[in-house]
Amino acid sequence: MTPQEKILSVAGETILTEAKAIANLEQLLDQNFAKAVEAIYESKGRVIITGIGKSAAIATKIVATLNSTGTPAVFMHAADAIHGDLGTIGKDDVVICISKSGNTPEIKVLVPLIKNFKNTLIGITGSPDSFLGQQADFIINSYVEKEACPNNLAPTTSTTAQLVMGDALAVCLLNLRGFSSKDFARYHPGGALGKKLYLRVSDITAQNQKPVVHPETPVPQVIIEISEKMLGVAAVLENDKIVGIITDGDIRRMLYKSTDISGLTARDIMSSSPKTISQEAMAVDALDVLEENKISQLLAEENGVYSGVVHLHNLIREGIL
């Protein structure tokens, strides 16, 4: 076996080991999990998630997922908690403690303090019979048979299992809250993801000029309009209604047939019944229309009235594509 083949073999074994462990988690779901979700959903406070070592790293990711899906959450490091950070916990908060063994010294110190506050305590652990398992109000079992680490020491499969259980919690809560794509957009306003959820056609057309010609506009004037507005297109309007479209491609095809354009008007070279989209449609929907029809420009309208142009370059610039 070559060194590269060995690398790929080990990588494959790691993935299969973790995949098997994740598949087994479904068998570990019980009423404790359901009650834990209900406790969080019915709580008037936040979710405080704590852990130490690799479990702390997983806790921060679960916190981020909950926050982005409508469940306010805060990370509290288990070691820092016993040195002042216990003040993070409010009287209505639900606390989730993550620990593979459930028996680490920090957990044994921290858990009784949390219990003194009388907050609901949820444990995510692979050892339900551990100290954490015995003290928690609800246990989410994240047991794995073995770590992907060949020495069965480095937290690998176990932390993946913790992460998956955290995702399961977040998705169940999202479902209970009826959390929609519009809600998601409010929490993710930045970047391409956010723009796909909130950017509308009207936001795009507002950036562009509105190239317009009429059916009887001479072709030389059409060329000037297209060039000046720099969108490679002009809408053809008659009685304020869109009756056609002329693109750079239409101009090139016309000139390929004949360089004598005297006497030609927009009506002679326009494409009738162009693709249009509502001004209130999402920008990502405009992208779908462009890709489906293999075109670069799309005319927008509002209540049947021409309102502007969406160009493929606009969507690329916004990060939609």
Q: What is the pLDDT of residues 130-147, one digit of tens each?
A: 999 999 999 999 999 999
Q: Identify which has the larger pLDDT, 49 or 192.
A: 49
At residue 87 the predicted structure's pLDDT band, cuts being 50, 70 and 90, is very high
The tens digit of pLDDT for each residue in 100-121 reads 999 999 999 999 999 999 999 9
Residue 196 resides in a domain = no
> Which residues are documented as binding site for Zn(2+)?
77
The whole-angstrom separation of Cα 142 and Cα 24 is 9
pTM above 0.85, yes or no: no
Calculate the CA 10 to chain-centre distance: 31
End-to-end CA distance of the chain: 42
Residue recorded with tokens 């693109």: 247
Q: Domain containing 244: what range?
A: 201-317
> Which residues are documented as binding site?
77
The whole-angstrom separation of Cα 268 and Cα 261 is 10
The whole-angstrom separation of Cα 137 and Cα 147 is 27
The whole-angstrom separation of Cα 49 and Cα 95 is 6
Calculate the CA 66 to chain-centre distance: 13
Q: Which CATH number do you get for residue 84?
A: 3.40.50.10490
Domain count, the chain: 2
Q: Is the pLDDT of residue 23 over 70?
A: yes
Give residue 239's pLDDT.
86
Residue 136 resides in a domain = yes
Residue 189 resides in a domain = no
147 within 8 A of 155, measured Cβ to Cβ: yes
Q: Looking at the structure, do residues 145 and 207 belong to the same domain, yes or no? A: no
Question: What is the token pair recorded at 273?
Answer: 């019944």
CB atoms under 10 Å from CB of 312, counted, come to: 18
